[in-house]
Structure 1
């Protein structure tokens, strides 16, 4: 598809609006979290079981919403699938449901991220804009993909995440000559998305650090013996995450009652929140302090944190607390990496990077976007090996799946 100057202008403006919208949405979520989890308990002199109280209240609220409003917010995959099948993303009476469902889930501490809600809101917004501007179906789809790329780049602080789609998932009609203009357009949209995001963050400051800060890098050749085990551990974590996802869905189908399901998830969230605050929220703001303090915990404690976070994320989603899984998957895989380097402390940042890269690649099935998301999470010196780990993991994952299909 050729992009004329008018569509390029639409894309750039939309990218800027996406950045503004994403930052404002996160600012609202952080304001509510601050009120529910910091101001209110301080004012009430809340007891130690306060997370359980909030989990129960949140579970009842989420359950009521799921029972009477439906499965909201829609996920990124559902938004894209809806567009591909219906050539539009519903927005009448849908935007408010996605918005308020996301506020409810995220502000009450769900171990889920905001990307699901943002993609559904952006999908509806772009369909509304496309209908009024009489854009073709192809251009509406391109605008939707551009906007989601800009959103991912902004909220994950990953400037190159927005240009991975035309590289990893090219249009069959694209040629080598036509691919580069598309990549440049994705890059421009992402750039203006960042500008919009930064503008709001400048006006409404909030903690946006998304990185792992390890001790000063001291290269140790002993680490070479642990590169392959780290990669295999990351792969196993990815498969465990996906298995728990399917198991949680099956369990939710057997119970089948939205209010009971959401209440169970809320109770589990509250109980684990009483054990450690690291179980709460998506992990975006928790990964930095954990990377500084992981030596204060035993390897077993860190393993249990990683596995518990994975269980809570998938159960919460399946039981009605719907949201994004990318942030929690990164947090849990990195935590497993911290557990590994507590036993084998050789160039720890590199080991954590490999385990995280392998695990998230298996979950997302997109090595390039995984590498882009992890680019500034880890020290830049490790990025070439992290990138290589993503592609090796994707290759091994593909071969394993092919063999499984062939044998069964």
Structure 2
């Protein structure tokens, strides 16, 4: 136990020192993508700082997902690659005149031979625009194929775990609206708690080492007593359908609360990462807890409805959450997931319009 504590404190010292030296890293995907939308480019020079700090956070077991910081770095590197391609486009004759060795050095040089996006010089020819769209589609397909091949070749386990089979019937629909309301209330309660946590932990703004050490102590406590809640929770999610039957409603709710508290402490003490996987993990556990209150109804129907409702309320992305959540459940439950997400989406839009008119 002492060695674990020392390891966690070492992680806090390293993380706090890096943030004290470099600033507020890692950048999240939300920040990077918002900056890209506003300015059509991002600063990719700190990409390796971003990756190093993100790697430190993941190594030491913070209760966050890897997706936010890693996606931010991918966006940075993608913009760097786009600037390289733009350099090729506008300097074709000069580049063609180079010998093979010079071409390679030009393309691999990290800071030179780049052309940033400039709307005033961007080609507007229809044929070019259509070709650009086709190339973008090719890049997307190429990325998906490459990812799949690498996963297969390196024999990596799937990051998606199925929650079990469903045999839901029309009688289960009697619970549909009540389950959505339960998920909605759970999500709203978390949003209130999230705002409070950001206020409570809004201290030591100029001392990132102290804040990181506070997060380290939390990681140590969780790792000692509930190690399955370390990281995003994604690794432990696959065993949930088999193990949840051995736990009571109160224990399952306790796990949800601890996971979400752990997530907020990490995010507010410098252990920054993604919140999608942790929230989905907590929402699914919440669904299994609620299912124990209705033993005569289909378990997966209840879990999917509650989890989707709670995750949509927290993440505020109905379509994205529905698509992501559907990966964890059998195909026959997909209409329920879609209906839950769309109902919440249209209800929120209706309330917003009504409020605006008043």
Query: TM-score scaled by structure 2?
Result: 0.79
Cα distance between partner residues in 2 of 1:186 and 1:264: 44
1:235 to 164, 176, 184: 184
Matched residue SS, 2:324 = helix
Cα distance between partner residues in 1 of 2:258 and 2:319: 28
Does 361-370 or 315-324 show the bigger shift?
361-370
Q: Which runs of 5+ in 1 are unaligned?
A: 1-46, 136-177
Deviation at 1:199, TM superposition (A): 1.7
1:95 maps to what in 2? 47
Cα distance between partner residues in 1 of 2:169 and 2:37: 49
Cα distance between partner residues in 1 of 2:170 and 2:283: 24
Summarize deviations over 1:252-274 as a string: whole Å, max 9, x none: 33332311211111211221222
Cα distance between partner residues in 2 of 1:185 and 1:224: 45
Deviation at 1:352, TM superposition (A): 0.7
Cα distance between partner residues in 1 of 2:177 and 2:292: 17
Deviation at 1:293, TM superposition (A): 0.9
Summarize deviations over 1:222-273 as a string: whole Å, max 9, x none: 5333222211121122223333332232233333231121111121122122
Does 216-225 or 296-305 show the bigger shift?
216-225
Deviation at 1:354, TM superposition (A): 0.8
Deviation at 1:59, TM superposition (A): 2.0
1:208/1:285 contact within 8 Å kept: no
2:72 maps to what in 1? 120
Trace 1:327-342 onto structure 2 (pairs within 5 A).
327-342=277-292
The question of 1:250 aligning with 2:202 is answered no
Number of residue pairs matched by the alignment: 314
The question of 1:348 aligning with 2:299 is answered yes
The question of 1:104 aligning with 2:53 is answered no
The alignment yields a C-alpha RMSD, in angstroms, of 2.7
1:51/1:271 contact within 8 Å kept: no
1:130 maps to what in 2? 82
Cα distance between partner residues in 2 of 1:272 and 1:241: 19
Q: Which runs of 5+ in 2 are unaligned?
A: 88-128
Trace 1:11-22 onto structure 2 (pairs within 5 A).
none
1:269/1:279 contact within 8 Å kept: no
Cα distance between partner residues in 2 of 1:394 and 1:75: 25
